[in-house]
Amino acid sequence: MLLLVVAALAGLGFAAASTWVHYQILNDPLYSSVCDVNATLSCTEAYTSRYGAVGGVPVALLGVLFFAFVLLVIALCQRSTIARNNLPGYIFAVATVGLAGVLYLAYASFVVLKTVCLLCVGTYAAIIALFLFSGAAARYPMSTLPRRASGDMRRLVRTPAALSATIAFAGAAVLAVVMFPGEPVSASARAAAASDAAASDVAAEAQAPAAQLSPEVLQKLHAFLAEQPRVPIVAAGGVALRVEREVA
């Protein structure tokens, strides 16, 4: 039991950190995460790819909800001896679904994107740990799990505190999905934003009026122009003009 709690808490910590980084990326295209070490070790590349969200919901946020749900199930099952004995089977079923998602995301990251997200690896390890620990602790065949779950659900409905906690979790999950920013920023958009910002700075400097130049710079500019050779240009009607040669 303790190992399940530790694995779920560790996974929740990694998933929460991933969600925070993803949130910052969506709100600031120029944000750089501490886990962006290089082109290979980069959380940003994973989060801004097409594998970073499912149906518009960030995978990192789904990870938070997954581990929070596991902790909720563990807490609810502590209220009954029967439910406590069934707990490893419940966690094993949930972890099996999570493991399928982990294998898919790991393949997408390591093989397709050729990128390693350190925070993602932490959540992968936590789900694998839940899968192994719960599988080793399960006492009953998985074929009997639906019948056992039905009995535990009836006991849950008859317990006001447990029912309230379940409803509160469902409401918080829906609110988190709705309130999270929905338009991901791609890596190309981030690069374009950085390029545009740099170009704007250069243009602002180039278009600065001469009045903003220091007296020393103006003095040097006038001295430079005075030293340039002058060549005559014959205009129409034979009138000779002298102009300063333009310096590219």
Map out the domains of the chain as residue ranges. Answer: 2-192
In whole angstroms, give the CA distance from residue 12 to residue 63: 7
The pLDDT value given to residue 185: 45
Measure the CA dihedral 55/60/64/66, to 10°.
60
Where do the DSSP E strands lie in 60-188? none
Query: In the prediction, which pLDDT does 191 show?
Result: 47
Tell me the per-residue pLDDT of 21-40, one tens digit each, with 9 for 90 and over. 998 888 887 888 888 888 88
Residue 55 has pLDDT above 70, yes or no: yes
- Segment 156-182 mean pLDDT: 88
DSSP H or E segment with residue 241: strand 240-244
Residues whose CB falls within 8 Å of the CB of residue 85, separated by 6 or more in sequence, listed in order: 139, 140
CATH of domain 2-192: 1.20.1440.130
Give the tokens for residue 219. Answer: 């003095």
* pLDDT tens readout for residues 81-129: 888 899 999 999 999 999 999 999 999 999 999 999 999 999 999 999 9
- Greater pLDDT, 228 or 90: 90
Contact 244, 225 (CB under 8 A): yes
- Report long-range pairs for 104-109 (Cβ below 8 Å, ≥24 apart): 105/51, 105/59, 108/49, 108/51, 109/46, 109/51
User: What pLDDT does 212 receive?
Assistant: 56
Tell me the mean pLDDT in the region 44-57: 88
| 147, amino acid identity | R
Check residue 119 and give its pLDDT: 92
Residue 248 has pLDDT above 80, yes or no: no
Least confident window among 130-134, 147-151, 217-221: 217-221
Kindly report whether the global pTM for this prediction surpasses the value 0.85.
no
Query: What average pLDDT score do residues 50-64 get?
Result: 91
Print the SS3 string covering 51-90: CCEECCEEHHHHHHHHHHHHHHHHHHHCCCHHHHHHHHHH
CA 80 from centroid of its chain's CA atoms: 38
* Residue 155 burial (CB count, 10 A): 14
Cα dist from 60 to 11, 16, 64, 124, whole Å: 11, 7, 7, 11
- pLDDT value for 205: 47
